[in-house]
Chains A and B, each alone.
Chain A
Amino acid sequence: MSEFVTDLLSAHFFRPCPCGLLKWIPAGDVTVENFLRVLTGRLPPSTPRSKRLLSDDRSNILIYLTGHGGNGFLKFQDSEEISNVELADAFEQMWQKRRYNELLFIIDTCQGASMYERFYSPNIMALASSQVGEDSLSHQPDLAIGVHLMDRYTFYLLEFLEDIHPASKANMNDLFKVCPKSQCVSTPGHRTDLFQRDPESVLITDFFGSVRKVEITTEVVNLTDPIDPANGEAREEMYSYVDQLPVSEIIHQKPKQKDWHPPDGFILGLWTLILLVFFKTYGVKHLKHIF
């Protein structure tokens, strides 16, 4: 699924796909917690830049979700769900932290419209493939592997987007008309009341295309000389490769001195118990025989 998105975006809008705009999160990392952390930016400090959503208040964000879902939730990896309330709260956090300018939310699951019902942050436009109480269906199966490869709404959306080029003037109203009930069997829905601009005036390329601004200059910049490789004095000792399996060295390896740790709580407790039992049984007067 992700490969078709990349192919679509890179083939039709910008070549090559600049890795800064698309975030790849490998399958092991896809959990509800990680998704919400990526959106809100609350990631551990060691997270690399390519896994962060580096957006600010001038970024337009496109969020596309697909999979199995129901009334008010979406399934993640068959073991957890994200609810529409959580998603709405995450978007509000993003708005408060000025992490987006405008947000387009497309969801292709069963009863997808329930997911955008709870949004309350401004500048969000949402599209869903089916209303509450309806199922989104999948497109034709691949007869070689016997599994359906794509959903209907996604298929017709892709077909529509393939006709859009970076200079296209198509607006959001055209996007709302994608996949009517005759093709999709479910009724696609959309929500524009939170969006401040009129959908007629919003170009599709606002969310699906990106143009890097290039400024050409004819000035010449003089680079300073590179750092002198200060190897005037040649090294006296020679480097050498290490023996890969030095058998005699390995056999005669001294065991490493382990650091001394004070006795664990368990050991201390055990010894205290033993001493207590001993002195209880035999009486304290034996102490003077020992010491």
Chain B
Amino acid sequence: PPIAYEFQEELVIRPLHSGDIYASFQFRTVWETDFTRGISHYRLFPKSLGQVISKFSVRELHISFTQGYWRTMQWGQPYLPSPPGAELWVWFQDTVTDVDATWKELTNVLSGIFCASLNFIDSTNTVQPSASFKPLGIANGTDHRFLRYATLPREIVCTENLTPWKKLLPCGSKAGLAVLLKSEKLFHSSFHSQAVHIRPVCQDEPCKTASLELRQTLNVVFDLHASGQGKREWSLFKMFSRTLTEACPLASSSKIYIDVTDNPQDQFELSPATHLLSQAVVLGDRRTFSVYDLTQQVTFGTVRSLNVLIRWKSTEGDMLRPLLHAERYVAGYGLQTGEIHTLMYNNHPFRSFPVLLLDSVPWYLRLYVHTLTVTSKGKDNKPSYIHYQPSKDRMRPHLLEMLVQLPPHSVTEVTVQFERALLKWTEYTPDPNHGFYVGSSVVSALVPSTVAMNTNITKEQPLFSTFFPTKEESSYFIRVYTEPLLVNLPTPDFSMPYNVICLTCTVVAVGYGSLYNLLTRSFQVEEPNPGLAKRIANVIRKMRGVPPL
């Protein structure tokens, strides 16, 4: 029978090859409700989000706030990808009549809930992808008119965003895994990303009932030298400055998974020891995990607190190269033109697979789409699907979506030239010489998997492996984000209005003033002041009636 309410929490710790450590928190609340009929009673599901969903007829909502850029080549693939800055994409229900107005209201309400500047999302940075960002939950059809995607690459994530995010959890930050989420350690990291994902999911195998799932995820990568003081030894206390004392009482499952797949020769040791092992197929690979079950009292031992310690003895072993990887940069010189290069690497030795590239470029970089070239291994590679929506100044951005087949073991380069526009002087930000951000490109792909993926939805699986739904066993879906670009637009000198006013007024005053005086002044000859003797003589002459000297 479907469960009315369920809350699960888990933490996955994956030691990375470079010595850094990657921790991924997931908090999942599943609520069996018919949300189209209106929701009235909230228990574990946060009321603020529930009201947003019912008021704006939202089918799926995905919002993420990220600080830092995920380095795929050094760290591998993340469990949940996210671009730097803020990203929001929403699927609305079919009943919505004016999607754009609803989107604008939704972004304002979300900016209030998460204390972020999401109200800067407007028509100049919102796009409607035509093939990417298919719904991650259950759906009848996919009419892309109800999808909106926006990204704010300039958004900074800080404590004020973390606090309302933590408030949405059933146990808050008082019990369970959320006690580890202390901002002074979380923001002292190389990468920090927090996200909220709401979608309808299947509850059981025949999938006759739909439930609403809320996943709150937090990914953080701690740097070996900044947080780890150079020593390759990690513990919960070193990472978060807290230890765990209990699971969240409202959670049906509360687990910590440590990825021990790369440890066949015991390069690192784990303490306290645990004999619970679990295997899961995630990101196309079968990984082994040591599990700590926080719902069992025995996990906490006699000290009543759990501090997992990972100590390295040797540092051999190499990393599995990620199969798909993307980069982007701006080429060119000067402030008039430039060229955007996007490189996609297919590191599979013999299989090729298709990728969908989504590029959303702001209107002030005018793309010359006739210069778009896609080359793989030096030869032209024609995409099988291109969707381009040109920009309109100050109204919408460029949208470019392409389906490209990447040949095996190759680099595919997509180049397009652009020209920079001159903005009106009020449109510049207070720090215009910093540059203007262009949001990350999104590369969505079905990558061939080395082991059979699990397509059974109801088997008990760890949360991190069930985020993207898998329909077939031989491939898995990933999304890779490129770097955001920072381009300088021709910036005027903002002191010029003042300079111009001063100079003009001076020129007018000096030039016109003197000319006017020359034209209109009349000159009179003036006698110099006569001496004393002459003055007395003039007085006597006046008395005599004789004209003066």
Contacts and interface: CB of A to CB of B under 8 A. Distances in A.
B403 A48 contact: no
Q: B115, B135, B494: which has the most chain A beta carbons within 10 Å?
A: B115
Interface stretch (B22-30, B104-112, B363-371): B104-112
A250 B354 CA distance: 11
A51 interface: yes
A243 interface: yes
B135 A245 contact: no
Contacts of A78: 430-431
Contact of A79 (B40, B130, B155, B430): B430
Given A227-B40, A250-B385, A239 B159 contact: no
B159 A244 contact: no
A105 B208 CA distance: 60
A77 interface: yes
B104 A46 contact: yes
A108 B140 CA distance: 59
A234 B385 contact: no
Interface in A79-96: 79-80
A77 B112 CA distance: 22
A208 to B, nearest CB: 21
Given A244-B468, A244-B469, A250-B131, A239 B210 contact: yes
A253 B469 CA distance: 23
B244 interface: no
A1 to B, nearest CB: 12
Residues of B contacting A: mostly: loop
Interface stretch (A21-29, A109-117, A127-135, A274-282): A21-29
Contact of B477 (A19, A24, A245, A251): A245
Contacts of B112: 47-51
Interface in B113-158: 113, 115-117, 119-120, 130-131, 134-140, 142, 154-156
A143 interface: no
Contact of A239 (B113, B202, B444): B202
Contacts of A291: none
Contacts of A245: 134, 354, 356, 444-446, 477
Contacts of A250: 131, 356, 385, 403
A238 interface: yes
Interface in A214-255: 226-227, 229, 231, 234-235, 238-247, 250-251, 253
A235 B209 contact: yes
A3 interface: yes
B142 A242 contact: yes
B533 to A, nearest CB: 58
B384 interface: yes
A253 B385 contact: yes
Interface string B79-121: 0000000000000000000000000110011011101110110
Given A27-B156, A238-B207, A244 B444 contact: yes
B138 A243 contact: no
28 contacts: A2-B160, A24-B160, A26-B111, A26-B116, A26-B117, A29-B117, A46-B109, A48-B113, A51-B111, A77-B430, A78-B430, A78-B431, A79-B430, A226-B41, A227-B40, A234-B208, A238-B206, A239-B140, A239-B208, A241-B139, A242-B135, A243-B134, A243-B471, A244-B468, A245-B444, A245-B445, A245-B446, A247-B354
Given A26-B111, A238-B206, A245-B446, 10 more contacts: A27-B117, A28-B117, A28-B120, A46-B105, A46-B119, A79-B494, A239-B208, A242-B138, A245-B356, A251-B403
